[in-house]
Amino acid sequence: MSVTYRRAGTGWIRRLDPALDRLVSPGAHIEKIASGFLFTEGPVWSRPGRCLYFSDIPGNALLKWTPDGKVTTVRKPVFPGSYTPGFGIGPNGHTLDQEGRLISCEHGNRRLARTERDGSITVLADRYEGRRLNSPNDVVVKGNGDIYFTDPPYGLPGHDASPHKELPFNGVFRLTPAGRLDLLASNLRRPNGLAFSADERKFYVANSEHARRLWMVYDVRADGTVADGRIFFDANKHPARGVPDGMKLDVRGSLYCTGPGGVLVLSPGGRHLGTIVTPELPANCHWGDEDGRTLYITARTGLYRIRLQVPGIRP
């Protein structure tokens, strides 16, 4: 394998396979567009609003970036209670439903919530079989309106050892439009980012466990449940720091996964083509702009973007 590094604006492109050039052009560069946050996460582009929503988790804030370069606060605090400063109590992942409404994972509130057009908040799910959720982390909406989300314990002090933890597992859930909450998987210790393939026949889930750094793939059954979970990409031997976190797919089936060393670009067959290396370790990403070819990246204290060759799958 011939590995090359290219300076790309504020970061680097690590090229492992010539096929990367069809996705990340040799002239692509990484741009830092905002800074000064505590830990950014959950980017989602709103086409009607022409803006990027994202979270500052320790900052307990839902924020909005607009193409004029301005960052404004949409909600703060998201979690209204008292907490230790710097702890990850705020919102995390976001997506949009079929009506363009914002769906949010809220750590401290331990719930999945929707922001209505008038700004009011509707709680979509906060309990499974009578027990409180851990701290919903990332979320995606299927074409039929089903909402899929992960529920690791990152928002609980002590994580699995927290006395406030009510569920004996960290799950992957599906919420139907009728309001039924189904447990799809409970065998991952740290389920995190998730995404569907373009035809919605495959479902990908990141496992952020340090001892088991994996991206999993499942087959999607006709009833929306998942089966035959298997390893899609194993990052345990990757020398860089970081764990599998958020991910997005382009329309051709390639994956863009935040994890060890940056944003790993994986082929539909699970081959590592290269890495988009941001100055700070990234946590999540999302497609934006009118044509969907700009990948926006949340990375610790900053917000970054890079123009790519192929448009992405987005709400």
Encode pLDDT of 292-312 as tens digits.
Answer: 999 999 999 999 999 999 999
Selected residue with higher pLDDT from 185 and 86: 185
What are the respective helix, strand and coil percentages of the chain, to the nearest 5?
A: 5, 50, 50
Check residue 2 and give its pLDDT.
Answer: 78
Q: Tens digits of per-residue pLDDT, 35-78?
A: 999 999 999 999 988 999 999 999 999 999 999 999 999 999 99
The pLDDT of 150-174, averaged and rounded, is 97
Residue 18 phi/psi, 5-degree rounding, is: -60, -20
Q: Tens digits of per-residue pLDDT, 239-262?
A: 899 999 999 999 999 999 999 999
Give the rounded percent of residues in the chain with a pLDDT score beyond 70: 100
Check residue 233 and give its pLDDT.
Answer: 98
pLDDT-based confidence at residue 205 (cuts at 50, 70, 90): very high
The pLDDT of 213-240, averaged and rounded, is 96
Q: Which amino acid is at 90?
A: G
Check residue 161 and give its pLDDT.
Answer: 96
Inform me whether the pLDDT recorded for 7 exceeds 80. Answer: yes
Check residue 85 and give its pLDDT.
Answer: 80
Check residue 1 and give its pLDDT.
Answer: 62
**What 3-state DSSP class applies to 251?**
coil
Q: In whole angstroms, what separates CA 46 from the centre of its chain? A: 15
Selected residue with higher pLDDT from 90 and 48: 90
Give CA separation, 50 vs 47, 67, 94, 241, 292, in Å. Answer: 5, 8, 16, 34, 12
Q: Tens digits of per-residue pLDDT, 19-43?
A: 999 999 999 999 999 999 999 999 9
Closest by CA position to 233, among listed 260, 251, 252: 260
Q: 77: cis peptide before it, omega within 30°?
A: yes
Q: In what order do the strands lie in the sheet with 171-175?
A: 139-141, 147-151, 171-175, 181-185
> Distance between CA 260 and CA 126 in Å, rounded?
31
Report the predicted TM-score, pTM, of the whole model to 2 decimal places.
Answer: 0.97
Helix H, strand E, coil C: the string for 185-245 is: ECCCCCEEEEEECCCCCEEEEEEEECCEEEEEEEEECCCCCEEEEEEEEECCCCCCCCCCC
pLDDT-based confidence at residue 215 (cuts at 50, 70, 90): very high
Give CA separation, 96 vs 100, 102, 120, in Å. Answer: 5, 5, 16
> Distance between CA 274 and CA 21 in Å, rounded?
9
Q: Tens digits of per-residue pLDDT, 117-152?
A: 999 999 999 999 999 999 999 999 999 999 999 999
Mean pLDDT for all residues in the chain:
97
Inform me whether the pLDDT recorded for 193 exceeds 90. Answer: yes
Check residue 38 and give its pLDDT.
Answer: 97
Instruction: Give the other-Cβ count within 10 Å of 244's Cβ.
Output: 28
